[in-house]
Structure 1
Amino acid sequence: MLFHGHDESSTNREMIDWYKYKVETIKDAYDKGLKNCQMLAPSIQKDLTKACAEEVTAVIMDEIHGRSFSVLVDESRDVSIKVQMAMVLRVCE
């Protein structure tokens, strides 16, 4: 059996249900863990965002290696008035 990527198809769901049926600790962890790990606290979201930003920044800085670059940042709101931000990084050879 292969598992690859984020698959929410019915066959993947059936595999998870089968595994939960076979292993009680997996069932408990899967059923209870989803309720406990919602990461809704602002401090947790801030920490996760900061960690992701640091990792992305490190990769970008490694790729740039002292070359010239420009950054374009655009903010927009969708129909539900949620703010979305797009970023483009252009590196000159």
Structure 2
Amino acid sequence: MALRSTAIPYSDVHFKFPLFDEISSVVLKNAPDNLKLTSPRIQKDIINAFGVETTKLIVQDMGNDFFSILIDDCRDISVKEKMGVVVRYVDKNGCVMERFLGVVHVRDTVATSLEKALDSLLSMYDLSVSSLRGQGYDGASNMRGEFNGLKSLILRRNPRVYYVHCFAHQLQLTIVVVAKKHTSIGYFYNVINRLCNVVGGSCKRRDILREKQRENILEKIASDEITTGT
């Protein structure tokens, strides 16, 4: 997706945001007129700063109270295993809140590796396993295993961390079963499954598919259906 930015006159910014006089006097007057903030490096720095500040506010809102965790792991587009962590807690107004805490790269999905990654993430924000009171995962053996699962490893350290099978995962399993009973939907997913097996099983087929996709993208760029950017 291409980012388009329009230069805003300094006078307009000053008029619309009078509370930021100090910032505008330093930043806007010293910034070059061609500043667009479209550099990939600058965009990543801005997004990272937003993420850090947002996570700080979430941790401050949690305070020192008890909380629960929801964890799931999956492979991203760069073929790296990632573990996503969500915290669930009660805020100062008595409302139950669910907030995304972070994503951690894990080399494998064994329970001990997930436990180390979780400890690293919690310690980064001065959170402790001793404050945990709940944990929710899917039904995989490495997550909810009775002896060597992540659930059991955490329970050995804190026996008050009750486990609940993730309701979202239960709903997903229900939807999958219902969808398979529908003829058209079942046929669609069967075709997708076969296509993935056929293409994914051969490097030559993958190259052919990538080349066709590249030609398709070039045609859409030429016809202005897709906009490009650096």
TM-score range, shorter chain: 0.3 to 0.5
Alignment TM-score, normalising by the size of structure 2: 0.19
Alignment TM-score, normalising by the size of structure 1: 0.38
